[in-house]
Amino acid sequence: MNDDLAQFRAEIRAWLEQNCPQEMRDGAVGEDSTCWGGKNWNFTSDAQKTWLERCAAKGYTVPTWPVEYGGAGMNRDQEKIWLEELATINGRLPLQSFGIWMLGPALLHFGTHEQKLHYLPPIARGEIRWCQGYSEPGAGSDLASVQTKGEDKGDHWLVNGQKIWTSYADKADWIFALIRTDREAKKHLGISFLLIDMTSPGVSTKPIRLISGKSPFCETFFDNVEVPKHQIVGTENRGWDVAKYLLTHEREMISGSGLLAGGSRSLGAILAESGNLDEPVLRSDVMRHEIDGLAFGLTLERYKDQAEAGTGTGDASAMLKYYGTELNKRRQELIMAGAGSDALTWDDERAPHWLRSKANSIEGGTSEVMLSIISRRILGLPG
């Protein structure tokens, strides 16, 4: 077993050496540094395009997905080796997307074989970009009270309503959305999980500007949009099950985001270069963050090992989401403090990152909602 893994590591290392373009070995993790795919994607360089194509051909964009759906069929140990070797050469991820983090796992679990064959490979190749239509003006933390409605018209649903905070809706090709298909049932039991082509007549988007100066999220409007019946995941009116399952993956993804930044180098080592780390209060905060960050990284590992051994709990993602995002917000505060006035202009990328991180503990379920989930479902405290 360990011999096999050593062999596997050698293969990955050799493949990366041959195939990862030099320009992709800078460890960059910024919003445009990694390809998000989709028909509207503008590659920032030829290297970015080549890197995506080479990885997609091997299934490395989604290493653990089955080969028939565009993955590489890796197990957990192999995936870990892939990520470690990629980090060793400071390589960028070839592709990231909501399709990979969110819809993919949900389809793998709830989709039919035909749906998997139809929707997953284009995600793996970065051809179709997805966005998430969950939140509405009146349904944020209380997500199950979504009102966007789908009327049964025989072979299709007629969808009307509005979503909000839809990240990258203006760039996405498709949207997975929570639509109320039964207005009489209790709120959790009248929702369906529909897949909607953003080019369908009646779909429109309007960007919203963020405090970071960017506008990657939108209002999304549905005005008499026809959605064919086969574009449902799971059972009619049982979309909440799919939605919740997807959320556990979304939460795990968001929780790890802070750890990826900086590759294998510590925040302290990065900040030390600024010369400001001798200041004792900052230094002490950075040390504490380092210790918590290392322990949290181990927790991500442990939970994955638990999940693989079948001893994990789905609710654990609430813990990862809460802890990981609060940790990342601390990290961003320390980066700003370490940089001093150097980071206070808009042409420095640190300020927008710092501002963007504030959303981590809101998107995908707020920190308070995570704590309530832990308190009820894990600690069993009375509602």
Partner 1 sequence: MTKLIRSEEEIMLADAARGYLDEAAPVAKLRALRDAGEAHDPALWAEMAQMGWTGVLVPEEAGGSDMGHAAACVLAEEMGKTLAPTPFLSTAVIAATALRQVASARAKAALAKIAEGTVTYALAIDEGSKFDPEAIDLVAEKDGNGFRLSGQKRFVVDGGFADRLLVLARTEGGVTLFDIPADATGVTRSAKPMIDSRDAAEITFDKVEATGEDVLGTVDDAMAVLKPALEAGQAALAAELTGLAAGAFGRTVGYLKERKQFGTLIGTFQALQHRAADLWCECEVTSSAILHAGRMLDTDPENAALAVSVAKARAMDTASLAVREGVQMHGGIGMTDEFDMGFYMRRARVGAEWLGDYGYHAGVVAGLRGF
Tell which one of 39, 306, 314, 344 touches partner 1 (CB under 8 A). 306
Minimum CB distance to ligand FAD smaller for 62 or for 131: 131
Tell which one of 4, 53, 223, 301 touches partner 1 (CB under 8 A). 301
**Cα angle 246-41-196, degrees, rounded to a multiple of 5:** 45
- Looking at residues 343 to 372 of the shown chain, list those that interact with partner 1 (rule: CB under 8 A): 368, 370-372
Binding at 77: pick from ligand FAD, partner 1, none (beta carbon under 5-8 Å per type): partner 1
Q: SS3 for 175?
A: strand
Q: Which stretch binds ligand FAD (CB under 6 A): 185-193, 200-208, 324-332, 362-370?
A: 362-370
Is 220 one of the binding residues for ligand FAD (CB under 6 A)? no
Is 363 one of the binding residues for ligand FAD (CB under 6 A)? yes
Q: Which stretch binds partner 1 (CB under 8 A): 41-49, 107-115, 352-360, 374-382?
A: 374-382
Binding at 88: pick from partner 1, ligand FAD, none (beta carbon under 5-8 Å per type): none
Minimum CB distance to partner 1 smaller for 117 or for 298: 298
DSSP assignment, residue 164? E
- Looking at residues 156 to 175 of the shown chain, list those that interact with ligand FAD (rule: CB under 6 A): 165-167
- Best CA proximity match to 241, nearest among 189, 281, 197: 189
Token readout for 288 is 């504490």
| Torsion sign over Cα 222, 228, 233, 235 | positive
Cβ atoms of 314 and 241 closer than 8 Å = no
Is 280 one of the binding residues for partner 1 (CB under 8 A)? no
DSSP 98-163: HIIIIIHHHHHHHS-HHHHHHHHHHHHTT-S-EEEE--BTTBSSSGGG---EEEE-SSEEEEEEEE
Shortest distance in whole angstroms from residue 134 CB to ligand FAD: 3
CA 362 to chain centre: 14
Q: H or E segment at 295?
A: helix 280-309
Minimum CB distance to ligand FAD smaller for 170 or for 363: 363
Number of residues that bind partner 1 (CB under 8 A): 45
Distances from the Cα of 335 to the Cα of 219, 268, 339, angstroms: 32, 9, 6
Distances from the Cα of 33 to the Cα of 47, 276, 363, 366, 374, angstroms: 11, 28, 22, 27, 35
Token readout for 59 is 């299934």
Shortest distance in whole angstroms from residue 379 CB to partner 1: 6
Binding at 185: pick from ligand FAD, partner 1, none (beta carbon under 5-8 Å per type): none
Is 132 one of the binding residues for ligand FAD (CB under 6 A)? yes
Token readout for 131 is 């966005």
Binding site for partner 1 (CB under 8 A): 2, 5, 77, 80, 265-266, 268-269, 271-272, 277, 283-284, 286-288, 290-292, 294-296, 298-299, 301-302, 305-306, 309, 311, 319, 322-323, 368, 370-372, 374-375, 378-383
Binding site for ligand FAD (CB under 6 A): 131-135, 140-141, 165-167, 217, 359, 362-366, 368-369, 372
